[in-house]
Chain A
Amino acid sequence: MEVAQKALPYFIEGLQITLYIFIIAVIVGFLIGLIVALMRLSPAKPLQWLAIVYVDVIRGTPFIVQLFFIYFGLNSLEWLSMDRMYAGILTVAINAGAYFAEIIRAGIQSIDKGQTEAARSLGMTGRQTMVQIILPQAFRRMLPTITNQAIISLKDTSLLSIIGIADLTQQGQVQQATTFEPFIVWTMVGLLYFVVIYLLSLLSKFLERRFTLR
């Protein structure tokens, strides 16, 4: 009990960093995903290819390799220097972006063609149709899958401890080394992750219910 009390403030500190990375990375990742999905669906072939290559490369390589490539690989270039926080957020964002892109593409394509035709027949532009009609409906449909990917990304942030980011997992390692109580330490760390992810899925269920009035 004493151990837990002493360790808790460190865990809260680590959790804050975890959440900070998670929130920025998921927002950036989502924007990347949206842009890449629209590129994938655009009539311009080069944009399509670029989108396909990006998604395939990210899906075809392990997260940890992506992290090492960005933090060690890119940082070894003379003209580039990133601190670990920046590299960590970037990796999670780029990784999530590829998966979000596929989710968003599928979501957009799942909307009936008649919706586009109705909007266009009213004189709306392609962009207005996308923003007013297609995306709002697609997002509703995508919400469960988006939440799922966000949860995966949150878990991925734990790997950033490897490059020395003081996130929740890193704090666990530090506390294990100072207290010699791995059972208590990892139970606490696990619980904290669990609570955050549980809250996240509650939020998603709440939004889903709000959006599906009909």
Chain B
Amino acid sequence: MSIIKVTNLKKSFGDVEVLKDINVEIAEQEVVCVIGPSGSGKSTFLRCLNRLEEITGGHVIVDSFDITDPKININKVREEVGMVFQHFNLFPHKTVLENITLAPIKVRKSDKAKADEQAMQLLDKVGLRDKAGSYPGELSGGQKQRVAIARALAMNPKIMLFDEPTSALDPEMVGDVLAVMKQLALEGMTMVVVTHEMGFAREVGDRVLFMDGGYIVEENVPGALFDAPQHERTKSFLSKVL
């Protein structure tokens, strides 16, 4: 049973066609890693899954809603789809705790005490309980990203999207963030992860998509894709990054 189904997805920015014809299905509890050279369209593809980018053509079905339908209430769909950004995008004027509880309170209408309690549990989970009262500006990059993950999880989403979550981090911070993501995968979260961390893709991914030039060029289980790539472009990309 697929929770995401993308058919003939096209996306253009002006005259530039960034996504040419994307077709993919993602099952519940599946962890799909998207790799590829920069400019291949992988971030744009991810951002189409919660319609942060307006979709030019094709269909994207998420959680049984066709989000390309202009009549759909996209906010309802987004409540079920958490997103983690390369540059964290924490709200700098709110404390860590407020960052996490804002959407549950304003969107889910849960009461504050309950939201606070859940937020503290999430902070435990990402190892940052003692930072609840801090402001984002007082945290390191790795801590910010873990708060951002907790913020997305606070909505109890069915799907989590990660857009290069470790690319803006100092190398020694990467491990903590990947550990949190791995834990999440083990708990059965459906995840789509755009990443340059090949080790993570191999170890945690159920499937890896290799994108280039606006297409999914090759997809396979990580072992097969990394060890025996079929396509020339996959081979040349992997030879440069591995």
Contacts and interface: CB of A to CB of B under 8 A. Distances in A.
Contacts, number: 66
29 contacts: A112-B89, A115-B89, A117-B85, A118-B83, A118-B85, A118-B148, A120-B78, A121-B52, A121-B78, A121-B81, A121-B82, A121-B83, A122-B79, A122-B82, A122-B102, A123-B75, A123-B103, A123-B107, A124-B75, A124-B102, A124-B103, A128-B107, A132-B102, A132-B106, A133-B91, A136-B93, A137-B93, A214-B92, A214-B137
Contacts of A115: 89, 91
Contacts of A62: none
Secondary structure class of chain A's binding surface, majority of residues: helix
Interface of A: 112, 114-115, 117-125, 128, 132-133, 136-137, 140, 213-214
B135 interface: yes
Given A123-B103, A124-B102, A124-B106, 9 more contacts: A121-B82, A121-B83, A122-B79, A123-B155, A128-B107, A132-B106, A137-B93, A140-B93, A214-B137
B42 interface: no
Contact of A118 (B75, B76, B89, B138): B89
Contacts of B75: 120, 123-125
A119 B155 CA distance: 12
B68 interface: no
Interface centre among A112, A122, A137 (most CB of B within 10 A): A122
Contacts of B136: 214
Interface in B137-169: 137-138, 148, 151-152, 155
A117 B52 contact: yes
Rank and list the top 5 A-B pairs by shortest CB-CB distance, nearest first.
A214-B137, A123-B79, A118-B89, A122-B103, A114-B89
Contacts of B148: 118
A121 B50 contact: yes
B59 interface: no
B93 A118 contact: no
Given A136-B93, A214-B92, A122 B76 contact: no
A120 B138 CA distance: 24
Nearest to A115: B89
A122 B152 contact: yes
Interface in B75-134: 75-76, 78-79, 81-83, 85, 87, 89-93, 102-103, 106-107
A133 B50 CA distance: 20
Contact of B78 (A114, A123, A140): A123
A125 B103 CA distance: 10
A117 B151 CA distance: 14
Contacts of A121: 50, 52, 78, 81-83, 152
Given A123-B155, A133-B91, A213 B135 contact: yes
